[in-house]
Amino acid sequence: MDERELLQSAYRYALSLTREAGAAEDLAQQGWLRLLRRHGRVPHRGSLFLTVRRLFIDRYRRDRKVEFVPLEDLDREPPVPLAPVVERLDLEQLLAELRPKEREALYLHAVEGYSATEIGRLTQQGRGTVLSLIHRARKKLTAGAERAAAGREAGRETGGGA
Amino acid sequence: MRQNIDEQVRAFYLDQQMPEERMTQLLERAAELQQARRRRWLALAATVALVVFGGLWLRHWTAAEGLADRVVAEVAMNHRKDLAVEVAVADYEQLQPALDKLNFEVAPPMAQQAAGYQLVGGRYCSIQAQLAAQLKIRHLQTGRVATLYVTELSPELASLPGQQRTDDGVTVELWSQGELLYALAHAESS
């Protein structure tokens, strides 16, 4: 993975944490430069994500007091649900409604391809907790997508009837 | 149409890109940072090397200075004793058989410092526990008497040539010729 891909990856991960492009750019930049200052290079993706995460916690979680509700441990891989295809803006809105930890876990799993164990190591949570976070995130997104699809359907019917 | 929710999330995020301008700025800044870091390491390495080599040089120089002081003091003291020669010869070729315990051959001094002197005779002595020839020489024009010491230029004495020092009224000049160390001692006023 070259520097640009790695940096884009860090940006997307930061985006999954912050949901704000500007803040994500700042986090990715600060994480990148912090590793360079410490090690003279970015050792690997895991260390970059970890640095970005710590910066996020320092900067955002304390300020905004984001609540992380403890979850029960589940030791099974939840099935990936099928959902209606949602518009980009709808998905952005649905992702914003997830709790930060749910969004982070889903991002690391669905986009970066991390296993629940790897996510647990990065985020210092148990594997079961990570699986639970992913499961809840999927469930919420699927429900949201169903609602959005139903709304669009209702809109078409209303429009067709007029 | 229905689709795996993970795939939709993946497609959403992969569509997000850090702006090219910001990325270029960051990578340029990162390159500057790496260069600065390299420069700092080089400066640190150079400082460490300077301190280490400076320390070694200072130690060597201090030791050499101490040795020079000791040799000059020894040569000057022997000169002041003005001991009689054991063999009275006027020619360096005659000196060698007379001082046959020397483990080196005493070559006539070619240096400017010893020009105009005539050999009077010689005897055994030592410089820093190293066997040496102590020669009495007289200046042909002024008649002043000086003492010339000759010994092997061992590694321990290698730092001495090229110096002139004074010890309690005696001037000592040190030089090398071939594999030999020469030390000429004479009264400061002469």
Lowest mean pLDDT among A57-66, B20-29, B164-173: A57-66
Angle between helices B5-14 and A88-97 (to 10 degrees): 100
Q: With contact defined as beta carbons under 8 Å apart, do A106 and A134 qualify? A: yes
When CB atoms are compared, the residue of B1, B6, B22 closest to A25 is B22
pLDDT for B50-98, tens place per residue?
A: 999 999 999 888 877 788 888 899 999 999 988 889 999 999 988 888 8
Calculate mean pLDDT across residues A63-75. Answer: 50
User: Based on the number of CB atoms within 10 Å of its own CB, is B33 exposed (0-12), middle (13-18) or buried (19 or more)?
Assistant: middle
Q: Tell whether ipTM is more than 0.90.
A: no
Lowest mean pLDDT among A120-129, B1-10, B73-82: B1-10
The distance from CA B73 to its chain's CA centroid, rounded to whole angstroms, is 20
CB neighbour list of residue A104: distance below 8 Å, 6 or more residues apart: A13, A16, A17, A53, A123, A133
CA distance A91 to chain B (A): 8
Mutate to test the interface with B, among A25, A35, A139 (most CBs of B within 10 A): A25
Lowest mean pLDDT among A17-26, A60-69, B50-59, B153-162: A60-69
Judged by CB atoms closer than 8 Å, whether chains meet at A4 and B33 is answered as no
What pLDDT sits at residue A68? Answer: 47
Residues of A in contact with B17 (CB under 8 A): 8, 11
**Interatomic CA distance for residues B31 and B35, integer angstroms:** 6
**Interatomic CA distance for residues A3 and A35, integer angstroms:** 13
Tokens standing for B5?
């929710």
Q: Is B50 on the interface with A (CB under 8 A)?
A: no
pTM here is 0.57
Q: With contact defined as beta carbons under 8 Å apart, do A67 and A100 qualify? A: no
Judged by CB atoms closer than 8 Å, whether chains meet at B17 and A11 is answered as yes
Q: Is B15 on the interface with A (CB under 8 A)?
A: yes
When CB atoms are compared, the residue of A32, A92, A106 closest to B26 is A32
Q: Does residue B6 carry a pLDDT above 60?
A: yes
Q: Does residue A81 carry a pLDDT above 80?
A: no
